[in-house]
Amino acid sequence: MTTTVRVATEADHPVLAQLRSDWTAEAHPGGGDTAFAGRFSSWMAGQRGWRTFWVARDGARPVGMVNLLVVERMPRPRLPSGGWGYLGNLFVLPASRRSGVGTLLVEAVLADATARGLERVMVHPNERSLPFWRHSAFSRAADLFVWPA
Q: Determine the average pLDDT of the residues in 48-63.
A: 94
Looking only at the bridges linking them, the beta strands covering 83-92 and 3-7 are unpaired
| Nearest of 44, 59, 47 to residue 11 by alpha carbon | 44
Residue 78 has a pLDDT of 86
Between 130 and 80, name the one with better pLDDT: 130
State yes or no: pLDDT of 63 exceeds 80: yes
DSSP letters of the chain? Answer: --EEEEE--GGGHHHHHHHHHHHHHHHS-----TTHHHHHHHHHHHHTTTEEEEEEEETTEEEEEEEEEEEEPPPBTTB---EEEEEEEEEE-GGGTTTTHHHHHHHHHHHHHHHHT-SEEEE---GGGHHHHHTSS----SS------
| Nearest of 4, 111, 103, 118 to residue 56 by alpha carbon | 4
Q: Determine the average pLDDT of the residues in 120-137.
A: 91
- Enter the CATH code of domain 3-134: 3.40.630.30
Compute CA 43 distance to the chain's CA centroid, rounded to the nearest angstrom: 15
Residue 57 has a pLDDT of 97
Hey, how many other C-beta atoms are within 10 angstroms of the C-beta on 103? 15
Between 34 and 134, name the one with better pLDDT: 134
pLDDT digits (tens, 9 = 90+) for 7-51: 999 999 999 999 999 999 888 887 778 889 889 989 998 998 889
pLDDT above 90 covers a percentage of the chain that reads 66
Q: Where does the pLDDT of residue 1 fall: very low under 50, low under 70, confident under 90, or very high at 90 and above? A: low
